[in-house]
């Protein structure tokens, strides 16, 4: 099973992203856009794991989340991996307090302790919007036109979810395997 931990994006922030996705789709770019149901901010990607490991991963996620309260987050700027000049993964940045980085770091270290290597790249909190199809490209800075097309909605991250990514013909579907309330 393929697992990752993240914060679901709900309510008004989610609606804003759904509206932005509708604008982006109008461009007919060669992009696979994400499903609207599963919008989330990934904090730790565990990858493909044997189902027997689920329990120890749940334990590590619970431990990492201990002491974390609700997080004041906000929609931020658009961006792309590997860079805005060479967009392949299109995303919307998420602004957050240092407690968000702390939680991400605790998940990385908790994961490392049970055999999952850390990412090795700096944490760039984001919600993936779409991925450019193999063999295609977008013009450099393609997202610049869209910076004015959405509001920087503030929102509260109240849950940390361990998701299972289930591959379907319509793209991955994210099922929650564990939901923790951030209530410290
Ligand atoms: P992304 O948001 O940057 O695309 C499920 O695939 C989630 O895990 C996605 O949100 C994805 O990040 C994240 N993820 C992180 N590292 C990944 C990797 N190496 N392969 C696939 N997904 C990864």
| Cα–Cα distance, 165 to 13 (Å, whole number) | 22
Does residue 31 surpass a pLDDT of 90?
yes
State which ligand 1 atom lies nearest to the alpha carbon of 165.
5
Instruction: Kindly report the number of other CB atoms within 10 A of residue 53's CB atom.
Output: 16
| Cα–Cα distance, 167 to 35 (Å, whole number) | 12
pLDDT band at 90 (very low <50, low <70, confident <90, very high): very high
What's residue 7's pLDDT? 98
Among 56-60, 92-96, 165-169, where is mean pLDDT lowest? 165-169
CA distances from 36 to 16, 40, 149 (A): 11, 10, 18
136 catalytic per annotation:
no
Identify the residue whose tokens are 């240092």: 98
What's residue 178's pLDDT? 98
Question: For ligand 1, which residues put their CB under 6 angstroms from it?
Answer: 4, 42, 45, 89, 128, 165
| Cα–Cα distance, 116 to 181 (Å, whole number) | 24
Class of domain 2-181: alpha beta
* 3-state DSSP assignment of residue 56: helix
**Bridge-based pairing state of the strands 126-132 and 71-83:** unpaired
- pLDDT above 70 covers a percentage of the chain that reads 100
Q: Which of 14, 44, 106, 126 is catalytic?
A: 126
User: For 129-182, how does the pLDDT look when each residue is reduced to its tens digit (9 = 90+)?
Assistant: 999 999 999 999 999 999 999 999 999 999 999 999 999 998 899 999 999 999
| Cα–Cα distance, 44 to 166 (Å, whole number) | 17
| Cα–Cα distance, 60 to 112 (Å, whole number) | 10
* Residue with CA closest to ligand 1 atom 14: 45
40 catalytic per annotation:
yes
* Residue with CA closest to ligand 1 atom 9: 42
């Amino acid at each position: 099973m393929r697992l990752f931990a993240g914060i679901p994006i709900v309510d008004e922030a989610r609606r804003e992203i759904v509206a932005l996705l509708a604008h982006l789709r109008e461009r007919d770019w060669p992009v696979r856009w994400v499903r609207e149901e599963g919008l989330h901010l990934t904090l730790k990607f565990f990858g493909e794991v044997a189902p027997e490991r689920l329990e120890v991963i749940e334990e590590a996620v619970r431990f990492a989340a201990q002491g974390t309260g609700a997080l004041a987050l906000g929609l931020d700027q658009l961006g792309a991996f590997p860079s805005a000049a060479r967009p392949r993964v299109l995303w919307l940045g998420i602004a957050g307090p240092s407690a968000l980085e702390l939680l991400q770091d605790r998940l990385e270290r908790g994961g490392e302790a049970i055999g999952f290597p850390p990412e090795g790249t700096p944490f760039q909190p984001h919600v993936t919007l779409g991925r450019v199809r193999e063999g295609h490209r977008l013009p450099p800075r393609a997202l610049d036109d869209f910076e004015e097309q959405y509001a920087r909605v503030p929102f509260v991250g109240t849950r940390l979810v361990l998701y299972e990514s289930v591959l379907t013909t319509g793209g991955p579907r994210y099922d929650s395997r564990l939901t923790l309330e951030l209530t410290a």
